[in-house]
Amino acid sequence: MHARGWHYISESKPNRWAWYEGNRVKLDGMRLLVRHMFSDHYIEGNLYSCFQKEVHVESLGDISLVMKERLFQKGPDVMHFLVSDTMGIGADEVVLEYDRRHRIEEFYRDGKQSLGLGEYMVRDSRASNRHWRWVFLAYTLLVLVRDAEGLVEKTIGQMCDWIREKCAEVLVSRACTMARRSPETKQIVQALL
């Protein structure tokens, strides 16, 4: 990785051991030691409380550690431990780059869990590409509808359920309207098919 000039920014588990000021501590324990040294950072419209320090982490070596916690969010406070092999970049840049990567990972998770991204069985690359395009389109449309309807707290899976409910409501409403106009149920069933 380093031979190619590549670097990483990733999230570490809180139970990983690190050396901080000559002491071997878990990252979660280090958070308590340095809590008074956190500072506020405003990054892409979000306010974070962050601490950055170069430490030695077993199995990773010398790394830049950024502890971040988003302020004023719904739900419980969650501390994230971001690690990078790139020394000398600021906490803002580490958080920004990690958040960008995290959004990509969210897309893949949502695509696989809710939109069938990993469930295609095709024989050629054209069909595979078509399937990917449909998943990208569905994801994009769900995000646009979510934002337009002010449902930003909903996940993509919840948006799929919401769309199904709205379609069912329209179907029932259409059936009721047709039943009022023509009581023959055969015509209603044929029109719905």
Taking only the tens place, the pLDDT of each residue in 56-75 is 887 788 888 888 888 876 66
Per-domain residue ranges of the chain:
2-94, 115-193
Greater confidence, 45 or 165?
165
Q: CA torsion angle for 103, 105, 110, 112 (degrees, to 10)?
A: 160
Contacts of 114 (CB under 8 A, 6+ apart): 155, 156, 157, 160
Angle (CA) 6 9 11, round 5°: 145
Q: Record the pTM.
A: 0.61
| Mean pLDDT along residues 84-106 | 84
Sign of CA pseudo-dihedral 53, 59, 60, 62: positive
Question: What are 179-193's pLDDT values in tens digits?
Answer: 777 766 666 666 665
